[in-house]
A = this chain, B = another copy of it.
Amino acid sequence: MRASRYLIATQKETPNDAVVISHQLMLRAGMIRRLSSGLYTWLPTGLRVLRKVERIVREEMDRAGALEVLMPVVQPAELWEESGRWQQYGPELLRIEDRHQNAFCLGPTHEEVITDLIRNEINSYKQLPANFYQVQTKFRDEIRPRFGVMRAREFTMKDAYSFHLGADSLQETYDIMHGAYCRIFDRIGLDYRPVLADTGAIGGSSSHEFHVLADSGEDDIAFSSGSRYAANVELAEAVAPAANRPQPTAEMQEVHTPGQKTIEQVSDFLDSDPAHSVKTLIVLGEAAEGEQAPLVALVLRGDHDLNELKAEKLPGIASPLQFAPEERIASELGCGIGSLGPVGLEIETVVDRAAAHLADFTCGANRDDYHLTGVNWERDLPLARVEDLRNVVAGDASPDGKGTLEIKRGIEVGHIFQLGDKYSRAMNATVLDENGKEQVMSMGCYGIGVSRIVAAAIEQNHDDAGIIWPESIAPFQLAIVPINMHKSDLVREKCEHLYEALREHGIDVLFMDEPKARLGAMLADVELLGIPHRIVVGDRGLERGVVEYKGRRDAESQDFAESQLLEVLLEKLGH
């Protein structure tokens, strides 16, 4: 592409409404422009990257045996009523009416449409398993669209849906798709992790998220230093300490702690380590028919955080998790929430594995302004129920027994689910089995945020000068930057010749051919655009028979003999 026939559209200023670096750089590099809140136009440079991501996704979906289809953006309400989601889905589902007052929505996802299609097209077990994907525009009416295309309202997604008889077939396709996702992110060249994920409201039995690791990520990912284990922090198991609990060495004592309520205050006051204290949180248990929900105490080490998802999954605890009102705690337990402790507490008590491992610990005395020190399980109080209640922290043992956990931020760019029969049962999507009996199909679903990948790649690959594209998705692979081309026929001739030669080899070249463009401005643009390779062609170098080359990540440029330039460049470009 010749810059003179292209829209580079770079900007020097960082737009002040862009918070994250990918959003700033996509605007500055002329990749996108905001049309309205959460709505973006992809300019030529941005679209080039988006299309390269799409192509890799399509190739790997095809290789995985998924068939491409294209379902409408606009979907009729009836199907969503059949699945129950018309009522369940929040205001992110943009509901619309056509001229005949029929109800539709803009599809945030296509489970209903594909299930409707497949129940009509597939009738026999012989046609299973089947797997369909599309690359389509989705719409989610986010309450606060932000971070550019990272959390836009209109975005491009690859979604796939597989259909099966039986869990084994579903697992097999799920594994194939897991492998395809890994290949996609490997090919793009991203540092990512497939992580165990919660199946959440969408239901189903097994799920993995694919996260690109980047400081700006919205999720915490725990992963092992010694294995491939990785999980969303909300799901990662906090295993019990391996060693036995230490023996008691101190006597239990009640100490006066006037006005000290938080773990930090008490620890400071007593000059002790929060890791040697416990905190006691009171939540609601499951209510028996017609009765008030009982109170349940959750006991954690002072330096650990409650994992609400883990707690609410436990038997006897209300889901979603509800903290007990302070008034009820005061009237039933006789003290404020800053003085609670497990000793003498006459309600169901669940103790986290790490807290259960403490000896000589500190806790509230269930009496305002008093705490207990030197407390020991099974001497001063019983230890009835021990569970995994907390978020893992860095340094915890990996649940698979190999290495310890690290925690990093991740950007979710893919999510695969074993849906089971959630949709197929509600919508009566059945096939005849080998015995001629109707069976509800099982389903898997597999999403990739195509436009989000573009932003995530930038979050992971940039410097002060701009974007540093992975070679696989760079808008251009190489830039040719001439010096004073409008004054030098030799420079023009060499550049034109090289441009055509590289194009003939199928290389995406940006030829900065605008007359009178300043060298500094061109080089700044090429760096901002993140083009992996660039050469500078000038009379002075040509006199010496050389051309200057610099890779986007290189600290220094180097000279190559002009006579061997094409071969050198093709080699660097992997040809």
Contact = CB atoms under 8 A, between A and B. Distances in A.
Interface stretch (A114-122, A166-174, A222-230): A114-122
A6 B65 CA distance: 9
A67 B7 contact: yes
A70 B99 contact: no
Interface in A33-64: 33, 35-37, 39-44, 47, 50
A71 B106 CA distance: 16
Contacts of A75: 35-36, 39
Contact of A139 (B7, B74, B117, B132): B74
Interface in A156-171: none
A39 B72 contact: yes
A432 to B, nearest CB: 17
B67 A42 contact: no
Contacts of A120: 33
A115 B110 CA distance: 33
Contacts of A33: 117, 120-121
Contacts of A36: 72, 74-76, 104
A141 interface: yes
Contacts of A44: 67-69, 132
Interface in A201-252: none
Interface in A1-17: 5-7, 9
A561 interface: no
Contacts of A43: 69, 121
Interface string A85-96: 000000110101
A65 B99 contact: no
Contact of A40 (B72, B99, B106, B153): B72
A124 B116 CA distance: 52
Interface string A133-161: 00001010101000000000110000000
Given A35-B71, A130-B7, A99 B41 contact: no
Interface in A472-517: none
Given A7-B67, A44-B68, A113-B41, A154 B35 contact: no
Contacts of A543: none
Given A35-B116, A96-B94, A41 B154 contact: no
A394 interface: no
Contact of A94 (B6, B72, B98): B98
Contacts of A143: 99
A41 B106 contact: no
B70 A50 contact: yes
B7 A72 contact: no
Contacts of A121: 7, 9, 33, 43
Contacts of A130: 7
Contacts of A92: 99
A137 B65 CA distance: 26
Contacts of A42: 69-71
B41 A69 contact: yes
A74 B106 contact: yes
A73 interface: yes
Instruction: Name, among A35, A65, A75, A76, the residue most crowded by chain B CB atoms within 10 Å (CB to CB).
Output: A35
A71 B139 contact: no
Given A67-B44, A99-B91, A99-B141, A76 B35 contact: yes
Contacts of A137: 73, 137
16 contacts: A33-B120, A35-B75, A35-B116, A35-B117, A36-B72, A37-B102, A41-B117, A43-B69, A47-B68, A47-B69, A73-B137, A73-B139, A94-B96, A94-B98, A96-B96, A98-B153
Given A9-B121, A41-B72, A98-B141, 16 more contacts: A5-B65, A5-B67, A7-B132, A35-B113, A36-B74, A36-B104, A39-B72, A39-B74, A42-B70, A44-B67, A72-B154, A73-B139, A74-B106, A94-B99, A99-B141, A137-B137
Interface of A: 5-7, 9, 33, 35-37, 39-44, 47, 50, 65, 67-76, 91-92, 94, 96, 98-99, 102, 104, 106, 113, 116-117, 120-121, 130, 132, 137, 139, 141, 143, 153-154
